[in-house]
Chain A
């Protein structure tokens, strides 16, 4: 462990001694020019009881001690050498500037560099969010003193003249060599050509909205994308203003634009603009032409790339993913709304795991084709949870450095240093961060064993003092992911009963994004997404489960049925007392025991006990097998009141269960057809109240103008029920429904003056919207209505079954 030198005088001397930081201690007119910044950076400041800073530490490392290790995440500090020298080693197998450290490298290459006083290292991890590219340690013979600077200091240090320029140029230099390295590996290029390419190229960092080139401009440079996207549009209109008529066309990282201009002068045929932050390599063609080897290498590598435009649904999906920024997430939580049964167990699981749920089923919804070859559409919801961005907005503003990147690459918040200022929450574009009270929250919800009616909700957070920020942290540090676990599990994903919720890496999951990537795209330094799911997901495992379930069902049915057919229910297949009635009874009992394991598993949120979707499938199949066995067990004769009641309740359990399966399969698909955006039940209810109030207000305000019978026609109470089949069949959007309704009442609408016509149209709009809201509410309720009878009958059945078993045992053993 390094020794910390805590004397402030030494700290200030160290800062003054470092060229890049010297200006921080500059004085003007007798006091420090950057007084407040210096105070926070070196001493820290306590305001309203919250501690901000200090951001620097003076550390002395013993000889041979490691300061940073290659391959580590957590680039939240960078260092200046104050006294002595530091050795830089790169592990074997490293790509050097590409920053992919060979994590398994134990055989270090010899020291590649030595850093002397005033030199800095480790800043790339802080700026670019990469893993540490190299190991830096004190030399074997002597200690070294370093100044450790934490990330929040960067904002302040940028004020120093020269500091931000040097940092920016270091970043660009790093980006340049990394990209050139990637090009060299993928094209491939010899080291000399790489060096030449590095000399003539420029690394550019650009932001959203920037126009890279306009249609008709001469092609003066090649653009090689390192990260980000370029949108090509034929019409020179701003995308989104309705100017672009054809399908949007995107180009992703690793692609090269402008290759048509290498050999002969040409012009850009389209305008290229940037939908997000983009880093690219700009290679001037004029200089490229002077290097024929390099020119040929690049032309042959990239010249053939002429991607065909995508079909419109695919292009629109790409547009939605890129413009909303979902394509740039590292670990994206997606919900397939055709599978989601709106149970909310994901939100509850997160709540049970963390004390305050970090998942709400509201967010960005996208409709995309399920795969490049299928026509079927997938309605996807990306709720407002942390995407663990490559370049997080939340990190940059945090005054204490509490929010930082952790060792597996995820962005996490340390509640000890968080002062609850909510700057991160304000800056997150996805509203993924919320504020919760600092004191430990109330324990997990437990309604109690005898409380028949549901609990009240946990209270909303009202206060604004003594809060900490919380957000999804990929369940790190929870019992679900003990240290050293190979494959991560997330409580939300583990507890989704249908497998609708997955945490994925967008580039793998969205095939339409993968297509956009070019040759030079390399994954080297991306945040690793454990547990990410490829597009096929675990379809194979699910299919296998179905197969096993079906096989078992058919097998048992065949065996039992055939046995009973041959010898009768009260005969035994072999000798002995175990006749078919016993066998079917025992199989049924086993089925019931297996089936009851599901509600037990459902209550477990904080431990790994197998994903819930497999449990639900097993529950259903065991229920069917047990059901068949017990149906045969009953025979055709009544056996008295007890067993008849048992049989009836059991049949009702099975029927409600089958109804539940049917609803779970059918209703989500109906919902995605007509809801346009996934909505919560409480939102729909609120909207219904709003619309009813609005209609009432409209009617009260303008009744003399509206024909009463017309109003009655529109506002029938259950109109949604009669409309629903038509809407589903026609796949009507809300606007189309409104237009259709207006047509229906055309005569009434066009009669009357402008004001009444407007009133009427408003009424139609409200009424049709209300109808659709009602339909959605009914569908949501349908997803739940089977559950209470299912459980009630199960509890009665279990009690009766216990008595029946006692009865049977008694009669057998007397």
Chain B
């Protein structure tokens, strides 16, 4: 470890003491002596003690190091020698076991690019020189020998003689120092070895791939265009793409299937019979479903409640769907206990009919006559008081007297006959023909299974219990 004393007149610094095996000099701040000027190479030169002498080594290929005005490769330093590195002058003095360097700088007021790169031996054609030129001339003589000899190499650079093994070791030493001085952080082997651009051009701006901008907006626009085109085509050629489900057979058919007709013309699968751009869909329903045999108007009490066609009749549920046959769920959405729906007519809350709080509960799949309240008895225009009659009498009176007078026949329920045991055969089942309801009812089932609409029809003048749409 050798000691170097540096006195820098170019900077506002106190004298420095640096201890190192080899003093690196260069522009980068990692050097022991950092001369930060564009004319100085990144690692420009090195000074190292060999036996009792300090030797100067030029480490810069692009720019040279001058020793007393001569370009030097490697040479021992003598007392009073003058080194020039770029615009910096270093005066060498030997101290007690140390080397002392006084550093001064010639400053050109113009920027570096106005100067030539390599220093020439003639130092006086640059701008003002700090040191006294007379003194400079005095120093530019062959230096006294301290331990090695200086001579001019074939390339007319000053060089000193060193044993080859030493020279090799030194080369490795300076390579290592160069690498260390050169970096603020260790480059990893995963990094590409990029060639440095020459000179000032190495600071020219370069883009990186971060600046590639993919046009996301265009993806949106193209996606919109493609889908829009497809949608437009589907509108004309395959409107079923818009359909939420297949049309029922009834509406897909090309001829009227029901007699007496309930529609004026067959739909034949058209979308636009119901879905028009103007007008409500329900008026379209009514326009077609108004025939001599069928009046599609809605009962007054339901109209008051804001119910039209679509609340009860669905479509687009597939081919087997029967739009006219309503599942009981359509009715029991409102007509049930706890539904919170208030009757438009009486103002009382709607309750579950027939199986709930009045009328006919279902037990074990069969109707059971539970009895009827006096109020309901009178509403049905039945004579007297229900408690006067037995259950069976109540049952038969409700179905045959009062408002039901003349509407039902005995054989509607006693289908097997009226004689002997045939009287009661199949009656339970035949009740179910009107009143029975399967637990998992759906409108796709056979028409024989009765549902609310088997008796309570909406459409037409007769709003009471009426058997319509019952297939023979």
Contact = CB atoms under 8 A, between A and B. Distances in A.
Is the A/B pair a real complex?
yes
A297 to B, nearest CB: 26
A413 interface: no
A421 interface: yes
A445 B8 CA distance: 49
Contact of B210 (A347, A429, A599, A734): A347
B241 to A, nearest CB: 4
Interface string B194-238: 100001110111111111111111111111101110010000000
A47 interface: yes
B127 to A, nearest CB: 5
A36 B29 contact: no
Contacts of A462: 204
Contacts of A430: 184
A796 B244 contact: no
Given A206-B13, A435-B203, A799 B228 contact: yes
Contacts of A434: 203-206
A745 interface: no
Contacts of B116: none
Nearest to B283: A814
Contacts of A33: 128
A536 B171 CA distance: 49
A348 to B, nearest CB: 6
A151 interface: no
A461 B210 contact: no
A163 interface: no
B244 A419 contact: no
A435 B36 CA distance: 19
A714 interface: no
B195 to A, nearest CB: 11
A205 B228 contact: no
Contact of B209 (A236, A457, A639, A811): A457
Interface in B222-274: 222-224, 226-228, 231, 240-245
Interface string A453-481: 11101111111100101100000000000
Interface stretch (B19-27, B77-85, B139-147, B430-438): B19-27
Nearest to B227: A799
Contacts of B279: 814
B281 interface: yes
A590 interface: no
Interface centre among B8, B32, B203, B209 (most CB of A within 10 A): B203
Interface centre among B17, B109, B110, B128 (most CB of A within 10 A): B109
B243 to A, nearest CB: 5
B240 A167 contact: no
B210 A348 contact: yes
Given A324-B184, A450-B221, A458-B207, A807 B242 contact: yes
A460 B204 contact: yes
Interface centre among A156, A209, A344, A361 (most CB of B within 10 A): A209
A776 B190 contact: yes
A348 B241 CA distance: 43
B52 to A, nearest CB: 21
A208 B34 contact: yes
A343 B212 CA distance: 10
Nearest to A795: B223
A640 B204 contact: no
A582 interface: no
Contact of B227 (A156, A423, A800): A800
A171 interface: yes
B287 interface: no
Given A205-B14, A436-B205, A461-B204, A792 B218 contact: no
B242 A429 contact: no
A164 interface: yes
B29 A690 contact: no
B1 interface: yes
B392 interface: no
A433 B243 contact: no
Interface residues of A, number: 131
A427 interface: yes
Nearest to A575: B340
A207 B215 contact: no
A677 B211 contact: no
Contacts of B221: 449-450, 795
Given A399-B109, A464-B204, A684-B190, A452 B215 contact: yes
A33 B128 CA distance: 8
Nearest to A813: B280
A351 B221 CA distance: 25
B222 A452 contact: yes
A639 B244 contact: yes
A445 B217 CA distance: 13
B115 to A, nearest CB: 11
B292 interface: no
Give the interface SS of chain A, mostly helix, strand, loop or mixed: mixed
A347 B223 contact: no
B439 interface: no
A37 interface: yes
Interface string A661-691: 0000000000000011101111110110010
Interface string A781-796: 0000000100110111
Contact of B21 (A238, A397, A436): A238
Given A37-B127, A461-B206, A210 B109 contact: no
Contact of A690 (B12, B20, B192, B214): B192
Contacts of B33: 209
B387 interface: no
A463 B199 CA distance: 12
Contacts of A461: 204-206
Nearest to B207: A457
B209 A435 contact: no
Nearest to A773: B190
A76 interface: no
A228 interface: no
Given A640-B243, A642-B241, A325 B211 contact: no
B372 interface: no
Contacts of B13: 205-207
Contacts of A583: none
Contacts of A794: 220, 223
B190 A679 contact: yes
Nearest to B3: A211
A127 interface: yes
B293 interface: no
Interface in A168-187: 168, 171
A221 B211 CA distance: 56
Nearest to A467: B204
Contacts of B193: 690
A422 B113 contact: yes
B206 A460 contact: yes
A40 interface: yes
A347 B211 CA distance: 7
Given A47-B114, A361-B210, A683 B192 contact: yes
A426 interface: yes
B210 A455 contact: no
A309 to B, nearest CB: 23
A707 to B, nearest CB: 25
Contacts of A633: none
B109 A204 contact: no
B390 interface: no
Given A41-B109, A643-B244, A683 B38 contact: no
B420 interface: no
B37 interface: yes
B215 A449 contact: yes
A682 B227 CA distance: 36
17 contacts: A159-B130, A207-B8, A345-B210, A357-B210, A364-B184, A423-B112, A434-B205, A448-B215, A452-B218, A453-B215, A461-B206, A640-B242, A640-B243, A642-B241, A799-B227, A803-B231, A807-B242
The 3 closest A-B pairs by CB, nearest first: A795-B223, A344-B210, A799-B227
Given A422-B200, A449-B215, 4 more contacts: A357-B208, A463-B204, A794-B220, A799-B223
